[in-house]
């Protein structure tokens, strides 16, 4: 009899379907967590673009062909360094013409003054009328005005000639060049765009309906392309919304630690709401990172129910610290398994 009992047990085991596990009468107890009660505020991500805080576009003040483009994109320049040289032959000719006009006006003034002196002597001798003397004095005043006008024109021509050599207004990096040698630079045409390195900001466009939530964020982090995370030194939510897109520009000034970025790069801005705040309607939920199960294309969690754990597919968002944002698939008040591997075992129950 003692020999038959072990044989019966072996036969029962062999009769079980292949791959079946022996049930645990006591069950596998798995710890759970309440969805929406993780203790962390709502986590939101938004795209942003890097922009310089100080940027300038050098434009042509006078017309002329571009003789030389002395910088290229990416070059570092010092204040007063030459950027573009325009053809100034016409401007130089105008400067010489106005200088000659000044000499001519000064000569006319000397002639008028000499006539006035002679007329005063004649007036003293009684050989000239008072009206004739007044006319000579008016001629002097007119000649003086002509000299002043000619000098102003000469100054204006000199200023215009100075516009032929365009220089950097401050220490900067060349962001973009807009012309090539031989192009015609008309007044107002952009030639070179510069920005001051080290003073950058991340600019995000926040939907108008979420401005209050973003502005009230307790924590804001800018995630850089190289994996670093920096905290903005200041936040500036602009007071007006775009009437077409219904978004508000949010400027996040970056500290010097963000050096190495270039304008135009895309970054992510991650915000966290107030810790301990109650989940509002429509607020995205969070669960512990370890509660998420990844199997190929499937992303799921094990939800506790009266019959044990049920595998449910979810759509997740960004992760922050040890939590993951759940965009769809869960409701506030449900409980999920902290250990999805143990929750998938036969007989697993919520602890």
Q: What pLDDT sits at residue 303?
A: 92
Q: What pLDDT sits at residue 91?
A: 85
Residue 101 belongs to domain with CATH number: 1.10.287
Q: Please name every residue paired with 236 in a beta bridge, in sequence order, or none if there are none.
A: 251
For residues 152 and 94, membership in a common domain is answered with yes
Q: What pLDDT sits at residue 19?
A: 40
Length of the chain: 351
Would 8 be classed as within a structural domain? no
154 in helix, strand or coil? helix
Would 17 be classed as within a structural domain? no
Characterise 282 by phi-psi region: left (phi > 0), alpha (psi -120 to 50), beta (else): left
Residue 329 belongs to domain with CATH number: 2.40.420.20
Q: How do the residues of the chain divide into helix, strand and coil, expressed in percent and rounded to 5? A: 30, 35, 35
Q: Which range marks the domain in which residue 341 is found? A: 23-41+280-350
Residue 216 belongs to domain with CATH number: 2.40.30.170
For residues 132 and 186, membership in a common domain is answered with no
pLDDT tens-place string over residues 8-22: 333 333 334 444 444
Q: What pLDDT sits at residue 10?
A: 35
Q: What pLDDT sits at residue 169?
A: 92
Distance CA 324, CA 316 (A): 7
For residues 130 and 27, membership in a common domain is answered with no
User: Helices marked H in the chain — which ranges?
Assistant: 4-15, 89-125, 130-162, 211-215, 340-343
For residues 78 and 183, membership in a common domain is answered with yes
For residues 62 and 184, membership in a common domain is answered with yes
In this structure, what are the phi and psi dihedrals at residue 161, rounded to the nearest 5 degrees?
Answer: -65, -35
The two three-digit tokens of residue 145, written as one number: 């005005």
Q: What pLDDT sits at residue 17?
A: 41
Would 124 be classed as within a structural domain? yes
- Closest C-alpha to 116, from 89, 135, 143, 144: 135
Residues in the chain, pLDDT under 70: 1-27, 36-43, 273-284, 318-321
Q: What pLDDT sits at residue 236?
A: 93
Residue 182 belongs to domain with CATH number: 2.40.50.100
- Let me know if 65 is exposed, middle or buried by CB neighbors in 10 A (0-12, 13-18, 19+): middle
For residues 215 and 341, membership in a common domain is answered with no
């Amino acid at each position: 009899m003692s020999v038959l009992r072990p044989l019966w047990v072996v036969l029962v085991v062999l009769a079980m379907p292949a791959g079946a596990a022996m049930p645990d009468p006591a069950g596998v107890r798995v710890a759970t967590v309440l969805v929406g009660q993780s203790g962390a505020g709502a986590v939101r991500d938004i795209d942003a673009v890097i922009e310089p805080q100080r940027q300038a576009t050098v434009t042509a003040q006078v017309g002329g062909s571009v003789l030389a483009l002395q910088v290229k994109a990416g070059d570092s320049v010092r204040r007063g360094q030459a950027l573009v040289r325009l053809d100034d032959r016409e401007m130089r000719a105008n400067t010489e013409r106005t200088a000659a006009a000044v000499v001519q006006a000064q000569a006319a003034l000397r002639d008028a003054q000499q006539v006035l002196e002679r007329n005063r002597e004649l007036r003293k001798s009684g050989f000239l009328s008072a009206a004739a003397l007044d006319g000579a004095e008016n001629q002097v005043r007119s000649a003086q005005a002509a000299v002043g006008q000619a000098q102003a024109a000469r100054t204006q021509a000199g200023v215009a000639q100075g516009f032929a050599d365009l220089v950097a207004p401050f220490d900067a990096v060349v962001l973009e060049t807009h012309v090539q040698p031989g192009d015609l630079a008309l007044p107002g045409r952009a030639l070179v765009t510069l920005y001051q390195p080290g003073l950058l900001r991340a600019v995000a466009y926040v939907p108008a309906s979420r401005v209050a939530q973003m502005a009230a964020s307790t924590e804001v982090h800018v995630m850089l392309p190289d994996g670093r995370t920096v905290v903005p030194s200041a936040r500036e939510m602009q007071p007006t919304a775009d009437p077409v897109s219904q978004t508000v520009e949010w400027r996040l000034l970056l500290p010097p630690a963000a050096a190495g970025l270039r304008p135009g790069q895309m970054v992510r801005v991650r915000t966290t709401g107030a810790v301990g705040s109650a989940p509002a309607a429509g607020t995205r939920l969070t669960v512990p990172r370890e509660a998420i199960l990844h199997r190929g294309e499937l992303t799921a969690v094990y939800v506790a129910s009266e019959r044990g754990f049920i595998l449910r597919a979810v759509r997740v968002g960004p992760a922050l610290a040890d939590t993951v944002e759940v965009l769809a698939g869960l409701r506030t008040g449900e409980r999920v398994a902290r250990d999805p591997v143990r929750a998938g075992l036969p007989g697993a129950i919520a602890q």
